[in-house]
Structure 1
Amino acid sequence: MIPYGDFTFFFIAFLLLIPVIILGFLGKRSRIYNGLSTAIMIMLIFSSDKHNLFGQTYLSVQLINFLLYIIWQVVIIMYYWYARAKNNKITIFITVITLSILPLVIVKVMQSSWFGAVQLKLHENKVVEFIGFLGISYVTFKSVQLLMEIRDGSIKEVCFWKVIQFISFFPTISSGPIDRYKRFVKDENKVLNGNDYSSLFAKAIHFIMLGFLYKYIIAYLIQTFAINPMMLDFTGMITKWLYMYAYSLYLFFDFAGYSLFAIAFSYIYGIQTPPNFKQPFKAKNIKDFWNRWHMSLSFWFRDCIYMRSLFFMSKKKLLKNQFAMSNVAFFLNFLIMGIWHGIEIYYILYGLYHAALFIGYGYYEKWRKKHPPRWQNKYTTALSIIVTFHFITFGFLIFSGKLF
């Protein structure tokens, strides 16, 4: 069952969450029932009548893969938590990070059309039958972030059951938003009073309604009346130009709608999962865009790839110029982001394209400091938004694989 993929999913989820909602209004929380309802939803999400074991729908390959993967990640995290107290060598850290991301790397290679394996895509009933499951990337992101925060010493306590709750939280299991362990545990430990929960529940209902508008109305209309007709005769620059707009808007409304659903169901559990989008097409420049688009992923790459690459180069004094080191870090950041989407050439080009935009904008900022603009008003702001929008949508055209 695809998360938020049909009304059956919503019906079952709401039915299971009725006790959670009632307890929330009473200012109470049952961690036992929360765990039980999460386990049931995970079984439903990973159930399959096509890829099952011993003829049992609910004993699917994806479910077995997911459970084994959770065990794998929890063992790595708990081992590093205890090992770090005795020995904080960089070699141990590199080993656990490598082991943590290894299954994802294998899945990404097997997904690739270069490898010729079965594809795994969100909202499609296709499965990587080796070790993959829906949402493996986002579970890995949570685990890697947790390992890095353990090494930094920013996490003072790691609980076995909290780690399992964190990385297997069903509302965000398949496509984020990517939460942080400390923030998640803080919400999970806090029991809201009835009034606070009522406010959170009202926001959840609002997000669900908005999510239906985005995903099931606007995104559906764009796909039905814009994208599908263009795919019948996808030739000519004008068609590609129009497709660039339609595909970009479809991506936003479809994914933003999904994210709103995930946040809403998190709120029902009393977990205030961070937002994923903040009016991204109002961005005034490329940096502003990545502070608005898929924010949880953007901030994850910023903290885990960009900042750490920059810190490493500065510590080793690999380059004398801080600006040059920042550009190299941006290059690595977006190259890895592109490869994470897939090792097809258009994903890699998408990452390199955004690296070029970031580096180019950095040079522009340096130039602008020496040459301040003569005027700054709503018209120049509107122009910067329009220009940024077209750079962004062209990037999505590359991402779609339809440019060439």
Structure 2
Amino acid sequence: MLSSPINEFAGPTYWLFSAAAIICLSFAASPGKFHALWAGLNLSFLIFLIGFPASAVLGIVLLVLHINGKLIHEQLRWSVAVISSSLLFVAFLAHKMQHPPKLLEDAKFILAAIGFSYIFLRCLEYIRGSTNKQTQSLTIFNTINYLIPFHMLAAGPVMGLADFKKNLSSSPTLDQDGVIDAFERIASGLFKKFVLANGIIESLFLTGFKSDGIYLFIEIQLYYLFIYLDFSAYSDIAIGLGRLLGVKTPENFNKPLSSRNIIEFWERWHISLSQLIRRNIFIPIQLAGMRWTDGQYPRLVSSAAFLSAFLLCGLWHGVTWRFFLWGAGHATALVICNYYRDWLVGRLGKRGASNFSNRPLVRRMAQIMTFQFVALSLTFLAYPGFDFLG
């Protein structure tokens, strides 16, 4: 069972399960029945994916998180939150370690099969919400549906807890236009992944950066395009399936290739992750820094928050020096971009800076520079010459 995960879009089992889920959920007449049935489907998918014993362990984890979200005693709630977070971090390290101890090899395979990176983020969001009493109104079905939505396991997106709660009371509706739009989104995702990304770019042009000269430069551009098409394809499919299922699924990309600076890039690329990082890491660190410095060094504090947030973002992608340095590089670019904005406003004023930045030539050059920076940073993650970094 574990050798052939069913959360792979190329396999027929995933689509058969999705079709069955769409049919089942169409009979849910009320929000309460819908969420109960949706929870049963998510748990069933988990059992098909990793088997009953592993699913039972994960089910216990979900139950503990749910109970903690219901606790009224504040000290006890915080204690359970700290313990739960610590255990999740241990599981995350087991999932991301390249060469885990033999005892953790099976666990690593199971965690990879269920897309634990995204479950980990949802769990942290849920735990943070529990400390602020945001989860006390959730049922066990709501908790299951938030933490393990089967159509978002493979590659996200990661819905914020507040956004998830907003959609609990509404009954899912889908008209003819909605069905057509959903199928178009799924078809777009499949075309991006299997035709453009895998069928053309990967199979015809990518060499694993074994080329040199002008072709290496071309491959760097195409690799960025491949990553975007492949990754956004998963999001398109998840969003389309979510519409057919009646499950709100957030957008994850908004034309990131045309970003004119690295700040705008992270507002357009992997949007749900960017918002989660901003909500749970950047803003808390920034607020704490402003209190600690009495608000005297706002730009320095925001720079420290950027560095902390993106170092953790890099390590979330992979616990290696390569990902650590990738996160540091993006943090540095964000800090430079912020200081440049301040310098430009100080020199030209807000209106003058805006007019200058919106000049066609300046805008185009900024887009090219941002594209090249992101492309080179992705190449750094994949280039064989840096294998010693892990």
**TM tier relative to shorter chain:** 0.7 to 0.9
Provide the identity percentage: 18
Query: Structure 1 residue aligned with 2:42, among 38, 57, 73?
Result: 38
Structure 1 residues not aligned, in runs of 5+: 47-58, 121-125
2:284 to 300, 303, 308: 308
Q: Which is helix-richer, 1 or 2?
A: 2
- Tell me the equivalent position of 1:176: 156
* Residue 37 of structure 1: how far off its partner (Å): 3.4
1:94-146 CA-partner distances (Å, limit 9, x unpaired): 444323333112322xx325x587999xxxxx972476643111111111111
Aligned: 1:359 with 2:347 = no
The partner residue of 1:167 within 136, 140, 147 is 147
Worse overlay, 257-266 or 174-183: 174-183
Measured after TM superposition, the shift of residue 299 of structure 1 is 0.9
Name the CA distance, whole Å, in 2 between partners of 1:351 and 1:161. Answer: 36
Q: Distance in 1 between matches of 2:103 and 2:240?
A: 32
Q: Does 1:139 align with 2:119?
A: yes
Instruction: Give, in whole Å, the separation in 1 of the partners of 2:19 and 2:372.
Output: 44
- The normalised TM-score by structure 2 is 0.85
1:44-193 matches, cutoff 5 A: 44-46=48-50, 59=51, 64-83=53-72, 85-87=73-75, 93-108=81-96, 111-113=97-99, 115=100, 128-129=108-109, 133-155=113-135, 157-193=137-173
Q: Could you tell which deviates more after superposition, 274-283 or 134-143?
A: 134-143
Give the aligned CA root-mean-square deviation in angstroms. 3.1
Q: Match for 1:299 among 263, 275, 299?
A: 275
Give the equivalent residue in structure 2 for 1:387.
Answer: 369
**How far 1:31 moved relative to its partner?**
4.4
CA distance 1:2–1:240, change in 2 (3 Å): farther
Give the C-alpha shift of residue 212 in structure 1.
1.3
Q: 1:205 aligns with which of 183, 186, 197?
A: 183
Q: 1:279 to 1:382 in 2, by over 3 A?
A: same
Task: Report the 3-state secondary structure (helix = DSSP H, G, I; strand = E; otherwise coil) of the residue aligned with 1:300.
Answer: helix
Q: d(CA) in 2 for partners of 1:32 and 1:318?
A: 49
Taking structure 1 as the reference length, the TM-score comes to 0.82
Query: Once structures 1 and 2 are overlaid, which stretch shifts more, 325-334 or 258-267?
Result: 258-267
- CA distance in structure 1 between the aligned counterparts of 2:263 and 2:104, rounded to whole angstroms: 32
**Structure 1 residues 272 and 338: alpha-carbon distance in aligned structure 2, compared to 1, 3 A threshold:** same
2:195 equivalent to 1:217: yes
Q: How many residues align?
A: 374
Is the alpha carbon distance of 1:88 and 1:303 closer, same or farther for their aligned partners in structure 2, counting shifts above 3 Å? farther
TM-superposed deviation, 1:33: 4.0
1:226 maps to which residue?
205
Deviates more, 1:385-394 or 1:196-205: 196-205
Structure 2 residues without counterparts, runs of 5 or longer: none
- Paired amino acid for 1:215: K
